């Protein structure tokens, strides 16, 4: 056998010379033609009632959290808030699909997923309030910092998942992305690395229709974003992103697949951003109200309420409990944010390096002297 023969010994008859056989039939990798749905189908009754009630409760609290945070931006109490209103099902399910040992890699719109993961709701807002870059301890809940540069967290998720697997730990990483983020090179490199390394990682794209002003049609010509998985040799799944149990089950399946050595999955959740991109954005410039109104009808909280009631899983007690919890959280947010934050300017020099450089020590001394002089002027 020559070297060439050896190289091509897997070639199938009729295949182009030099090409090797495809690793697998792409057909099983193709996403379903229509998104997975659970609400409104007989499937719903097979779900664990406790899980469904938990999803409902978290949706209600999450909706209130989004509303209160948006109000705080209007009052100048938060620097910026990219609301996930309308996308709560994705956020809540993302957190619930993970085990405690797993890692979440959120993007800037995913504060609610972070909160649902167990991060203190006020600490999760520190970045957006403007007093520190990441308020929470990433290690405490295995939640990476909210990531602002698009798609750059995706390769991190792959690396962490790969490292965990090398260490023999059954850890899965879940990276959250937007539809726009799927155009960035980092997204594609992450998918490819994950596939080649067979890393236990799941990518969840929340396709909310727009990347700021740019609609999906101007973002991608693929039939669905889930199709992007196929070229990398990993499965793509399509799910109704406003159907909380559906997102939860598709993600849980992908997480389990990853955990048991089955490799990465790309999940596309079809959802909608009913608010503007952030409080600084004017959405009327690029979309009309009829579109928004239609999506408001397909609201994740409404859908859940309607269908759980129908099968007798939602009672007034749960509605009231959830509403009270939501109001208590909103009140806590108001109380905390209406007081001015206590800030220490000297914190600017902490944590630039493990050991500050001599230059930083000098600059810290300079700022400290300036602050002392200022205090002297104010309270002589």
Ligand X SMILES: Cc1ncc(C[n+]2csc(CCOP(=O)(O)OP(=O)(O)O)c2C)c(N)n1
Contact characters 101-130, another protein, x per CB under 8 A: --------------------------xxxx
The verdict on whether 77 is a catalytic residue reads no
* Stretch of 10-18, 176-184, 229-237, 325-333 lying at the interface with another protein (CB under 8 A): 176-184
The verdict on whether 58 is a catalytic residue reads no
With b for 16 or more beta-carbon neighbours within 10 A and e for fewer, the 198-226 pattern comes to bbbbbbbbbbbbbbeeeebeebbeeebbb
Which of ligand X, another protein, none has residue 348 at its interface (CB below 5 to 8 Å by kind)? another protein
What is the rounded CA–CA span in Å between residue 280 and residue 89?
Answer: 24
Contacts (CB under 6 A) with ligand X, residues 99-128: 109
Are the C-beta atoms of residues 158 and 190 closer than 8 Å to each other?
A: yes
Are the C-beta atoms of residues 74 and 341 closer than 8 Å to each other?
A: no
Are the C-beta atoms of residues 142 and 102 closer than 8 Å to each other?
A: yes
Is 253 exposed, middle or buried (CB count within 10 Å of its CB: 0-12, 13-18, 19+)? middle
Contact between 184 and another protein per CB under 8 A = yes
Contact between 338 and another protein per CB under 8 A = no
Which of ligand X, another protein, none has residue 208 at its interface (CB below 5 to 8 Å by kind)? ligand X
The verdict on whether 47 is a catalytic residue reads no
Residue from 109, 237, 277, 307 carrying the catalytic annotation: 277
3-state secondary structure of 151: coil
Contact between 212 and another protein per CB under 8 A = yes
Contact between 181 and ligand X per CB under 6 A = yes
CB of 202 to ligand X, least distance (A): 17
Which of another protein, ligand X, none has residue 273 at its interface (CB below 5 to 8 Å by kind)? ligand X
Cβ count near 248 (within 10 Å): 25
What is the rounded CA–CA span in Å between residue 302 and residue 218?
Answer: 30
Beta bridge partners of 53: none
Contact characters 265-304, another protein, x per CB under 8 A: ---------------xxx--xx------------------
Beta bridge partners of 203: 175, 266
* Stretch of 31-39, 113-121, 142-150, 339-347 lying at the interface with ligand X (CB under 6 A): 142-150
Question: Which residues have a Cβ under 8 Å from the Cβ of 201 and sit 6 or more positions away?
Answer: 157, 158, 161, 172, 173, 174, 175, 194, 258, 264
Query: What is the set of active-site residues?
Result: 273, 277, 286
Contact residues: another protein, CB under 8 A = 79-80, 127-133, 148-150, 180-181, 183-186, 211-214, 218-220, 280-282, 285-286, 341, 343, 345, 347-349, 352, 357, 359-360, 363, 367, 370
Contact residues: ligand X, CB under 6 A = 109, 148-150, 178-181, 208, 210-212, 273, 277
């Amino acid at each position: 056998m020559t070297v060439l023969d050896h190289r091509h010994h897997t070639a199938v008859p009729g295949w182009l010379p030099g090409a090797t056989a495809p690793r697998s039939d792409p057909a099983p990798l193709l996403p379903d033609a229509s998104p997975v749905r659970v609400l409104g189908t007989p499937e719903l009754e097979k779900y664990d009632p406790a899980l469904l009630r938990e999803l409902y409760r978290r949706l209600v609290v999450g909706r209130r959290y989004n509303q209160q945070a948006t109000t705080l931006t209007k009052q100048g109490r938060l620097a910026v808030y990219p609301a996930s209103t309308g996308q709560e099902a994705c956020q809540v399910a993302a957190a619930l699909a993970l085990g405690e040992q797993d890692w979440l890699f959120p993007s800037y719109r995913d504060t609610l997923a972070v909160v649902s993961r167990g991060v203190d709701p006020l600490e999760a807002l520190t970045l957006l309030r403007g007093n520190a870059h990441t308020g929470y301890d990433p290690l405490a809940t295995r939640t990476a910092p909210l990531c602002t540069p698009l798609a750059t967290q995706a390769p991190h998720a792959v690396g962490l998942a790969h490292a965990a697997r090398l260490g023999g730990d059954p850890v899965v990483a879940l990276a959250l992305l937007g539809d726009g983020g799927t155009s960035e090179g980092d997204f594609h490199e992450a998918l490819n690395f994950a596939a080649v390394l067979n890393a236990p990682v799941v990518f969840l794209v929340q396709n909310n229709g727009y990347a700021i002003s740019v609609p999906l049609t101007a973002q991608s010509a693929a039939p669905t974003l889930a199709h992007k998985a196929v070229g990398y040799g990993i499965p793509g799944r399509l799910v109704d992103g406003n159907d909380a149990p559906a997102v939860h089950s598709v993600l849980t399946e992908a997480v389990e697949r990853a955990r048991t050595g089955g490799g990465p999955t790309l999940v596309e959740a079809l959802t909608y951003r009913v608010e503007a991109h952030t409080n600084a954005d004017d959405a009327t410039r690029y979309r009309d109200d009829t579109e928004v109104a239609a999506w408001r009808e397909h609201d994740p909280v409404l859908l859940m309420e309607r269908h759980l009631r129908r099968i007798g899983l939602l009672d007034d007690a749960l509605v009231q409990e959830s509403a009270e919890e939501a109001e208590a959280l909103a009140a806590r947010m108001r109380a905390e944010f209406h007081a001015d934050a206590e800030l220490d300017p000297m914190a600017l020099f902490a944590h630039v390096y493990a050991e500050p450089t001599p230059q930083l020590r000098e600059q810290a001394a300079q700022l400290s002297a300036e602050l002392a002089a200022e205090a002297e002027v104010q309270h002589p």
